[in-house]
Amino acid sequence: MIKVDLITGFLGAGKTTFLLRYARHLIEQKIKIGILVYDHGAVNVDFPLLNELRGEYCELEMLAGSCDPDCHRRRFRTKLISMAMSGYDRVLIEPSGVFDMDEFYDTLQEAPLDRWYEIGSVVTIVDAKLEEKLTEEEDFFLATQAASAGCVVLSRVQLAEEEDIERTLAHLRRAEERVGCPPTGAKSILVKPWDELTEEDYARLTACGYQLPEYVKTIAGQHADFQSLSFLDLPLTQEALREKTERLFHDSRYGRVLRVKGLFQEEGVWYQLNATAQETHVEPVPDTRAAIVVIGLSLNEAEINLLLTGKIPELHIL
């Protein structure tokens, strides 16, 4: 049977960066993998960053998340059926940061997928410098993703102080307690800079398995309140983009912005932007297409459009 690994984690945790490292390790072992990436919105800016992995032992697939939950589940199931015919040894799935874990487990139990696939590892990425002030909905996804994992991997450990890590783990325990999940044990948490991961660490991750925790579903699990706004080919410099991103996070007129990510070009060089309220990262990437995605709760689309494009979107009255 084909093993399926789920690489999950709340918005901005660092899933794509980890997936690149994890996939490279499997490719070096000559394990043939298929990677399925999907996001909450219509535009996926993480997918182009994985193109370097394409080759004899790796193929990429993308699934658009901008549809109703039932449609999305059908697309997810159909994509997995087609990937089962491709001769993969392992399939890696990177979903949205507001992913309902039940969708993963329920889909893989359906026929004919249950005859072709078995769950390998569920790895949940948690930012070592986790924001303290999360809403109940945000804590729900944080808790249920972590409680379902065979291993929780902390990201940006090299940037965190010991008290940051202790505060993050305490927050995680509180979030799990709120929804009735058993707390993630210390043995199931990997706290290590990713540049220092060893062969033994990767072997542990590929065999860490998963959990099926019971919890109280305090929200519908369909992230109905989460929104994603996409902007293509914005003519913004890095300095302007950084300044506008900072305003999105700290001015309440735009709603609760949780993450800004995307790709932009400046002086012939392509860059990736990854931003949360705590920090902004910009680094060079291979040639791609300019796109910026804003993700959050109760977003004010008109104000965000005005900030990023200088225009208010037209209202279409039916």
List, in sequence order, every residue forming a beta bridge with 13; answer none if it has no partner: none
Neighbour tally for 160: CB within 10 Å = 20
CA–CA gap between residue 65 and residue 232 (Å, rounded): 17
| Cα angle 145, 149, 150; round to 5 | 175
* Averaged pLDDT, groups of 10, the chain, 318 residues long: 96 92 97 88 69 92 72 86 95 91 92 96 96 88 94 96 96 93 89 96 97 76 69 91 94 93 90 88 83 90 93 54
Is-cis flag, bond preceding 183, omega within 30?
no
Neighbour tally for 23: CB within 10 Å = 24
Question: Do 181 and 147 touch, CB atoms closer than 8 A?
Answer: yes
pLDDT (0 to 100) of residue 41: 58
CA–CA gap between residue 210 and residue 245 (Å, rounded): 36
Question: Do 255 and 249 touch, CB atoms closer than 8 A?
Answer: no
Question: Do 124 and 146 touch, CB atoms closer than 8 A?
Answer: yes
Strand extents, DSSP E, 54-185: 58-63, 90-94, 117-127, 151-155
Q: Which two tokens stand for residue 66?
A: 């901008």
Task: Map tokens 């899933």 to a residue.
Answer: 15
Domains of the chain (ranges; CATH) run 2-206 (3.40.50.300), 226-309 (3.30.1220.10)
CA–CA gap between residue 263 and residue 253 (Å, rounded): 25
**Cα–Cα nearest to 215, from 137, 141, 144:** 144
**Cα–Cα nearest to 32, from 61, 4, 57:** 57
CA–CA gap between residue 216 and residue 200 (Å, rounded): 35
Question: Do 270 and 287 touch, CB atoms closer than 8 A?
Answer: yes
Query: What's the Rg (C-alpha) of the chain?
Result: 19
User: Rounded to whole angstroms, what are the CA distances from 20 to 1, 6, 48, 293?
Assistant: 24, 13, 12, 21
DSSP helix/strand/coil, 85: coil
CA–CA gap between residue 179 and residue 165 (Å, rounded): 22
